Chains A and B, each alone.
Chain A
């Protein structure tokens, strides 16, 4: 089966770089997610917000790619937030420990408000 790469739109909201990730998150997401993160990093944002589609299929390959992005944000002293997850993937992200390193917000607006207020 063909695996489509993700379309990722980058927006800047103050000191937050928002990566709006369209499509499923699997091992095939690695090039597009890394490329988007590297592009976003050029403006030296203090905070990174990953927004997923609530209907997205996310598997262990995608989780591994996301953890690699988390590792990069940690090395670059950036705060990271996540939004747009279904209840199931909120549970999965909690199980694997992603929520120890990234805050999950219920909505995009909640994420932007809370992260804007962070120093």
Chain B
């Protein structure tokens, strides 16, 4: 059960529904004092986590869901995105745009790359109820 300050959003696993999350997340983050630039960082990071959950975690299964939990405690925003998959075998390497431009690598891996750069901390976990969790944190300063 979430605590009484956690917001949960339960989404269909279809591209586009990440927009619903980032709209609500922006309102939540503004309410707890995030700056507009940090809100943009959050929106991109959480959208990417949701997209990965839909495409790679749930693998397009029509009945699968994506669960997003948002909380704020001790000046820190915590966002978890859960899918019904098994997570990574190995964390993807950073995309190399020079190799992509030369058609040597596929144009993939930008989602995790951006999450890791825009958030303060990103963790990938397997939960006890057989879900995969991407847990992101952002400390609010000033």
Q: What residues of chain A have their CB less than 8 Å away from a CB belonging to chain B?
A: 1-3, 26-28, 57, 59-61, 63-64, 67-68, 70-71, 74, 86-88, 92, 95-98, 100-101
Contact = CB atoms under 8 A, between A and B. Distances in A.
B19 interface: yes
A65 to B, nearest CB: 8
Contacts of A2: 16
A88 B40 contact: yes
Given A96-B95, A101-B97, A60 B14 contact: no
Given A3-B16, A88-B40, A98 B48 contact: no
Interface residues of B, number: 28
Contacts of A28: 15
Contacts of B114: 60, 92, 95-96
Contacts, number: 66
The DSSP consensus for interface residues of chain B is helix
A45 B36 CA distance: 38
| Residue with the highest number of chain B CB atoms closer than 10 Å, among A71, A74, A100 | A71
B98 A1 contact: no
A22 to B, nearest CB: 17
A63 B101 contact: no
The DSSP consensus for interface residues of chain A is helix
B97 to A, nearest CB: 4
A87 B37 contact: yes
Contacts of A100: 97-98
Contacts of A27: 15
